[in-house]
Chains A and B, each alone.
Chain A
Amino acid sequence: MTVQTPERPAVTQEPPRATPPPPTVRAQQPETAEGASPTHLSARGLDLFYGAHQALKKVSIEIPSHSVTAIIGPSGCGKSTLLRSFNRMNDLIPNVRIMGELRVSDIDILAATTDVVELRRRVGMVFQRPNPFPKSIFENVAFGLRMLGLKDRNELEIRVEDSLRRAALWDEVKDRLDRSAMALSGGQQQRLCIARSLAVEPEVLLMDEPASALDPTATARIEELVLDLKARYTIVVVTHNMQQAARISDRTAFMLQGELIEFDDTRRMFTSPHQKLTEDYITGRFG
């Protein structure tokens, strides 16, 4: 299935406007087995503008803790933008305006008084292209810890090993921790980036197409890792690989042109979506 798409999905015949407006997402919060797990991340009525272009339109979503939530949709649908709103990475882009409400646990993400640095420690992020620092493997994982002021060599070593083990990378790199991270393979680099994020003990892990630059074997390892990690972290994965979303996520959100079209239990989403647009996208009629 081709997922590389032109900017605008070819929804022929009937433009999306002609379809009934998407029902409010709250109405269809799924009553799944894990329905009991509390909301960890939420957006309410989120609007985001890049200059004059509206990238997110009244997005509301409640992401439960200790689960994997996938966000799917064609290129340019706003899925990465939504993801990057949760740790205010969009702050780096000039001319961004954002309105609405975003919460992680009890923190108001958008509040002026929020400590963005601490927010980003709690809400870790893994990017599309592996981006290790041009430092040693050890120093990559230790980076966030050092930024927190941790100097004790012994404690650093313990925490670095622990993080590398959690990211399923320890056995491959334990003999060459002082070598440059740039010498690792792409898949190893990505797991290193995950280890680096885990080191500062985040509660949420945002992953922006974490496997799209990797080969199938490396992708499979990342997916396995994601499934392992959800026991301890709340994970949100942006992907435009629908099979991947189906394999790893508990819930899936489908976005199109800045709107959240549907958010549901993954199995239900892929077998009996409520929205026509979701069905069309999932069955490959566009996207």
Chain B
Amino acid sequence: MTTDALRATLRPLKKSRPFDLAGLSFTALSGFAAFLIVAMVAVILGDVVIHGAGTVTWEFLSAAPKEGMTKGGIFPAIYGTVLLVVLMTVALVPFGVGAAVYLHEYARPDAWFTRAVRFAVANLAGVPSIVYGLFGLGFFIHFIGGSVDRALGLDVVFGQPALMWAALTLALLNLPVVIVTTEEALRTVPREMREASLGLGATRWQMVRHVLLPQAMPGILTGAILSVSRGAGEVAPILFTGAAYYLPFLPHSPTDQFMELGYHVFVLATQSPDIDATKPLLYGTVLVLLLITFLLNITAILLRARLRAQLAGRS
């Protein structure tokens, strides 16, 4: 179409670009946002380590609080936290993985029941954690615990805040995470693996048990990691369901109350009779809480890396 005459009317094309303000500002802003994240983590960790490191001695780790929380250590809280997280995981992982396997392998994707379950899972994930705490109190303690007590003719054994109820409440809180990550992990198992196992005459359950779950294990562990770090830090769900302000003894049964690090931090920060005396203890407790979460994460991440290497045939 372009004739020579038309082309002759054009001015020469300017080959230099205008100053790219938008591009440069965007680069700067996104870089700053990334830096801010690192800076925040560094400030928090730095502050906690600088103020808390001096407090964390063997005595601090192994002794119980003394003199109205102004002296002594935090051993009961460490013990309670570990116990709580372990119990939560034991309740959570089989249940969550089972639900995910059902949803992904057995349920018809368009059945109303499947949709209802997915809807519930999505909504569970959005419920504030304090609501879980209240639910735990109402459902686990009053309804289930209370009913068990009445049925067995006991005084009050199950119908009161306890380690097991707190662990179950936390498990419920983390259920959506485990279901979603497990489903995601099942989805990433190649279709070839399903066909291979079924083609060899495996039943559906054998395929799930011997092919899908082993291959989904790294993904399942990811869900467990997320839940454990969250479980170790959440205070709201255990507030009414089992955490104690102070206990003179260690919990020795699932029906006992327990002390927990996150709650202990809250107690030290808000309920202390002598803020200045508690402050170092507070920093120390936060540091220990962070270290425990970190340690649990690292263990799970290493385990996951090893599983992945095994699946890829590198070990």
Contacts and interface: CB of A to CB of B under 8 A. Distances in A.
Contacts of B311: 134, 182
Given A134-B215, A181-B313, A127 B210 contact: no
A81 B213 CA distance: 28
Given A134-B215, A147-B210, A125 B202 contact: no
A180 interface: yes
Interface in A114-155: 117-118, 120-121, 124-125, 127, 129, 131-134, 143-144, 146-148
Contacts of A121: 200-201
B201 A200 contact: yes
A183 B11 CA distance: 63
B195 A131 contact: yes
Nearest to A131: B192
B199 interface: yes
B210 A143 contact: yes
Interface in B94-115: 109
A147 B191 CA distance: 19
B312 A143 contact: no
Nearest to B196: A131
Contacts of B203: 117, 147
- Interface size bracket, B side: 20 to 34
Interface string B188-199: 001111111111
A196 interface: yes
A147 B195 contact: no
Contacts of B192: 127, 129, 131
Contact of A143 (B190, B197, B215): B197
A133 B202 contact: no
A197 interface: yes
A120 B195 CA distance: 10
A240 B243 CA distance: 68
B313 A147 contact: no
Contacts of A200: 200-201
A147 B200 contact: yes
B211 interface: yes
Contact of A92 (B195, B206, B215, B314): B195
Contact of B196 (A94, A118, A133, A180): A133
Contacts of A196: 196, 200
Interface string A26-54: 00000000000000000000000000000
Interface string B209-233: 0110011000000000000000000
Interface string B253-274: 0000000000000000000000
B200 A131 contact: no
A249 interface: no
Contacts of B197: 133, 143, 147
B195 A125 contact: yes
B201 A180 contact: no
Contacts of B194: 92
A131 B190 CA distance: 9
A87 interface: yes
B313 A120 contact: no
A190 to B, nearest CB: 12
B310 interface: yes
Given A134-B310, A134-B313, A182-B313, A147 B206 contact: yes
Most buried by A among B191, B201, B311, B314: B201
A134 B314 CA distance: 10
Contact of A87 (B199, B214, B215): B199
Nearest to B198: A120
A34 B193 CA distance: 37
Interface string A234-253: 00000000000000000000
Given A94-B109, A134-B312, 18 more contacts: A118-B201, A120-B201, A121-B200, A132-B196, A134-B310, A143-B197, A143-B210, A144-B202, A146-B210, A147-B197, A147-B200, A147-B206, A148-B201, A180-B310, A180-B315, A182-B311, A196-B200, A197-B200
9 contacts: A117-B203, A118-B201, A133-B196, A134-B313, A143-B210, A146-B210, A147-B203, A182-B311, A182-B312
Q: Which 3 A-B pairs have the closest CB atoms?
A: A180-B313, A182-B313, A121-B201
Interface of B: 109, 190-203, 206, 210-211, 214-215, 310-315
